[in-house]
Every structure is written in structure tokens, then in C-alpha cells.
Copies of this chain bind each other. A is one copy, B any other.
């Protein structure tokens, strides 16, 4: 075809083969394998994003998310992007230029929050712990007293270290200091106790591809009333149009349903099914399952003579950092697990590069048979 004498260049008309991915068992820090029922749901035929039947899907997703997060928050919905987009949505809406934002950094993802908050004009203050530790409540008290931030940001499940930051009492502390509490629950969501309302957390974000056992692509986000009050009384506009809460809220509200973007329809089918599985199992059984399989794994590691990097009381049930024994090449072991056993685990990075493996037992993958398979394969490679 010629359009004004132009000819189609067929050089790039490549012939790629049919998609055929290897049968990996994903035991890294995420993604985890999607639940088979999630993969059935994602392939369901589409309806329009303004179809009455899709509005019902969106309502289901929001209701089920409120169960999974134990919250009555009206604004509880998946951002149409990955967990990092949900993180940015929380920051873009809550942070105004000049706000003091105190970030508790216990690993890489705290650093990412600090970086994003800086880009959105915050006066960022950072407190740090060595990678593998968490803040004690007294340390947070002192920091709040010193910095008097508008927002305290903490990472509940630190993917780079395998640490679970205790949060039970932090919400009350933040109210004493008239400060909002923002929590990264990317790696703890649907695998470990998190009570948004009872713990008085003002904003939480997560992802779809870890504890929820969906593909990556959506980022659940919940704002409480104190966060919404701050957002609604902003002096400056939210910079991002795509992530602007005021536009998103009207789109996700079943009554107004005001057009914003086109929701990722099939990914919402997937997340609905993932959340439906959470409700079916029940949070108590789900948290217990993750805890028990983690403990079973930790015992197996000890039997192999391997050590966990994090003290037991601070370990994430969904993600364990295992110390690499002296003289062992961490990357070579991970490659051998992948190439010979189709098992993905990850190495450490930044401050933990070469020092740990990061091994996830998340959502559908938190099963006894996966633990024994991995332990057996690890034992064969290391011995």
C-alpha cells in the first residue's frame, strides 16, 4: 500500500513462534504463580468497561478488597498499574510540596518511597535500620518527636530483606503526633495479619502478583478518612492525571461511574478471582497456612545447616532471606535451581548482594509440596 508514495518496510515483519513458556515454580520475591482459577478468569471473554456487568465486577473487587484488608474504607480499589504505580498514587495524592515526610528505611523499598516523595516535592527525612532489622516503637516515637512529619511511611513487608515491620501500635503513635501513616504492604498482603482499621493505618498499597496469586498489573490501594481529608484540602493540584484520586474515585464509584481511563478488564477479572479465593479460604486460615509453611521451611533450612538472615520474630511468612554459606556462589545456585529444576528463587541485591537468597512462599505457592521440593533441590545442589 502506498500512502503519499510511502511503502511499508517489511524488514521488521518478524515471524516469532507461538508463545510457550517453561513450567517455572516461582519461589522468588514475586511474582508468584497465579492460581489456576485466576488464569481461567483472566481468559474470560471481555465486556465493555462501562457495561453494567463490569460495574458489578468492580464493585465485587472493592468489597472483597475491604475484607482482605479488614477495612471499611470507601476508597479501596486497584490502581491500573503495578504495585509501584500504587505506591506512586499514594505519594502523588498525599504529599504536597514542602510536606515533611518521614520514611522508615529498612531496605530497598523504603528507599524507593523516599525517592518518589522527593520527586513530588516532599521534605524527606529518613531513618534507617540495617537490612534485616525493623524499627522498635520507641525508635519511631523519637523520630516522630524530632521530625514532626505530616506523613510517616513504613514498609510492612520489606521485599529486599524479608523483614516484617511490626505495625500494631504505630497508628496510635501517629495520631499522637497528628501524622498520617502510609504503609507498603506489597509483600505482606493476604499472607500476614494486617488490620487497616484496627491498626489505624491511613493509606496502604500493594500489588497483585504476590500473596494474591494473580499476574502483575494492578496495584490495590486504600485510603482512610484522615488521608482523604488531607487530599481534599490540598493547596496544590495532584500532578499526575492518571493517578489523581479525585478522578479515580468518581470512576470506581458505582453511582457516578464517571469516565476516566479504561480499566484493565481481564486483570480485574483476575484480581476478583484472587480476592474471591482469599474470602473462600478466610483470612485466618490463609494467614495460618502461610505461617505454618514458612515455619516448616525454616525448620528444613536448619536441617540443611542453612541460616535465616532475619530474627524469627521479624520474618515475613511470605518471604524468607536465607544466608548464603561461605564459599558458595549465590547466583550459580539460583541458576542451577532454574535450569535444572525450573524453580525460581532470587538473590539479594544492593546491601545484601551475594549474601542471601530471597525465597517466597506466597499465595497459591505456599504449599507443603513446594517446600519439600525446594529443600530437596537445594540440598542436592549444595551437597
Contacts and interface: CB of A to CB of B under 8 A. Distances in A.
B262 A30 contact: yes
A8 B70 contact: yes
Interface stretch (A79-87, A149-157, A302-310, A315-323): A79-87
A12 B63 contact: yes
Contacts of A215: 46, 264-267
Contact of A19 (B51, B269, B284): B269
Interface majority SS (helix, strand, loop, mixed), chain A:
loop
A239 B24 contact: no
Nearest to A108: B259
A20 to B, nearest CB: 8
A88 interface: yes
Contacts of A272: 16, 19
A327 interface: no
Nearest to A287: B1
Contact of A80 (B41, B82, B193): B82
Interface stretch (A32-40, A138-146, A176-184, A293-301): A32-40
A88 B242 contact: yes
B207 A262 contact: yes
A115 B44 CA distance: 35
B34 A70 contact: no
A255 interface: no
14 contacts: A8-B283, A12-B67, A14-B63, A19-B44, A19-B57, A21-B57, A31-B46, A33-B45, A34-B45, A39-B266, A84-B262, A216-B262, A216-B263, A266-B270
Interface of A: 1, 3-4, 6, 8-10, 12-16, 19-24, 26, 28, 30-31, 33-34, 39-51, 53-54, 57, 60, 63-64, 66-67, 70, 80-85, 88, 92, 112, 115-116, 119-120, 168, 193, 195, 198, 207, 209, 215-217, 237-242, 259-267, 269-270, 272-273, 276, 279-280, 282-284, 287-288, 338, 344, 346, 349
